[in-house]
Amino acid sequence: MSSLSRRKFIFTAGVTAGATILANGCSGGSSPSDTSSPAASAPLAPAPVAAADTPEVTTAKLGFICPDGLAPLIIAKEKGLFAKYGMPDVEVLKQASWAVTRDNLELGSGGGGIDGAHILTPMPYLMSAGTITKGNQKVPMNILARLNVNGQGICLANTYKDLKIGTDSSPLKEAFAKAKAEKGEIKAAVTFPGGTHDLWMRYWLSAGGIDPDKDISTIVVPPPQMVANIKVNNMETFCVGEPWPAQTVNQGLGYNAMTTGELWKDHPEKAFAMRADWVEQHPKAAKALLMAVQEAQIWCDDPANKEEMCQIVSGREWFKVPVEDILERSKGNFDLGVRQLENSPLLMKFWNDAASYPFKSHDLWFLTEDIRWGYLPADTDTKALVDAVNREDLWREAAKAIGQEAAIPASTSRGVETFFDGVKFDPENPSAYLSALKLKKV
């Protein structure tokens, strides 16, 4: 039986001082970093905002957790882009876990919480549907942009290093069965039930014939605590965003089976989401936030800015990790512990190749997978839910406003998607995809 629970976290006793530092890393805040590089010392100057476009408010409270998909929010703050578009008082605030992010979004800033967040793409849908909220109350959310594609990692303990597992997880079926017979329970850690990391892990395991609900226990661990927990042998495998997969390899604690772009090339990951009532009450402010984030995404994907970006996000105000744990993978160079990927096109992207655009077809895949594993009812009206949550219309408006009309895709669908195992997802027929999958709850 799966031990997955929305409030189940691993708290490890006896973790060494080094692991404790790691678990407490990613200290967040909203004050600018002090860096000596010329570009960093000269934030982009505020530009006048036309009176008709003046935001209704000058502030918003945005939550974050420190996998590096949040880089655009950090850069928008550090480079003065929120101020440039008339919102100088935006706060970018550290959250302890995705569950805390959810809780604070439920509260809203008026109740002591937050207005929006860097978030796992399925979470705004699960909140809007009321499946992960207190009392199952629906909390309508809007996705304004995708923050990144690619850039997550599935890691394994050194116990399985001789197997040199990659995209094919099938050799683990026998190994996990043996370990389970010896230990009674073996664990796969993800960051939130029904979230992106949970779905990558489940897809990868099930593609190899491993049932994530029967053959292994799926547990929830906040991202900054993943490496500390693998260090004390709390789980066999885990899925999380960078820089934690790189740290696992760099500290010799395990290896990476894959970077998730190998599972699904240019797959969607984190989203920039706001409470729907906040967007409704502050449409000009929502557009201003989105313009700032889009401009930051363009900056982050400029190769000339990679080193500065990594210096900024690695600082104590944000990730609080060595810059070398971020830099090479941001350039597409992956030391996976058992193999190398050099100059890979599977690096994390923020803007290039339509990375920022919130394709509705991608959101439909997430909802289909959440139905597959029982996080959403089988009769969920997925089209209606996507249309309510996904605000690609606002993305288009913001892109035009910053002179990026040419970057607007022709369609809200990226078309048929193909996964590493040859399985295809046709957004025009999600039920056929779901029916063809062998391992599922529905």
pLDDT in tens, 177-236: 999 999 999 999 999 999 999 999 999 999 999 999 999 999 999 998 999 999 999 999
SS3 247: helix
Q: What is the pLDDT of residue 37?
A: 32
278, 401: one domain: yes
247, 271: one domain: no
117, 169: one domain: no
270, 196: one domain: no
Domain extent for 414: 59-150+266-359+367-419
Q: In this structure, is residue 332 part of a structural domain?
A: yes
pLDDT average, residue stretch 347-355:
97
pTM of the model: 0.89
Let me know: does 226 contact 244? Beta carbons within 8 Å: yes
Question: What per-residue string of b and e applies to 155-168 under the rule 16 or more CB within 10 Å gives b?
Answer: bbbeebeebebbee
Residue 69 has pLDDT above 90, yes or no: no
Residue 35 has pLDDT above 50, yes or no: no
pLDDT average, residue stretch 235-263:
96
Residue 418 has pLDDT above 70, yes or no: yes
Please state, as a whole number, how many other Cβ atoms lie within 10 Å of the Cβ of residue 58: 15
pLDDT-based confidence at residue 53 (cuts at 50, 70, 90):
confident
Q: In this structure, is residue 26 part of a structural domain?
A: no
71, 87: one domain: yes
Q: What is the pLDDT of residue 141?
A: 98
Please state, as a whole number, how many other Cβ atoms lie within 10 Å of the Cβ of residue 252: 10
Q: What is the pLDDT of residue 321?
A: 83
SS3 22: helix
Of 203, 232, 263, at which residue does a domain stop? 263
Q: In this structure, is residue 98 part of a structural domain?
A: yes
Q: In this structure, is residue 28 part of a structural domain?
A: no
Of 228, 263, 298, at which residue does a domain stop? 263
227, 355: one domain: no
Q: In this structure, is residue 2 part of a structural domain?
A: no
pLDDT average, residue stretch 307-320:
87
232, 126: one domain: no
Q: In this structure, is residue 16 part of a structural domain?
A: no
145, 178: one domain: no
**pLDDT single digits (tens) 355-375:** 999 999 999 999 999 999 999
- Provide the CATH number for the domain around residue 283: 3.40.190.10
129, 203: one domain: no
Q: In this structure, is residue 426 part of a structural domain?
A: no
Residue 138 has pLDDT above 90, yes or no: yes
115, 180: one domain: no
Q: What is the pLDDT of residue 49?
A: 62
Report how far residue 415's alpha carbon sits from residue 94's, in angstroms, rounded to the nearest whole number: 35
> Comparing 20 with 76, which gets the higher pLDDT?
76
183, 250: one domain: yes
**Alpha helix locations (H) across 301-381?**
306-313, 327-330, 360-372
State the average pLDDT for the chain: 89
Report how far residue 336's alpha carbon sits from residue 104's, in angstroms, rounded to the nearest whole number: 35
Instruction: Give, to the nearest 10 degrees, the angle between helix 122-129 and helix 360-372.
Output: 60
279, 393: one domain: yes
Domain count, the chain: 2
Q: In this structure, is residue 378 part of a structural domain?
A: yes
Residue 309 has pLDDT above 50, yes or no: yes
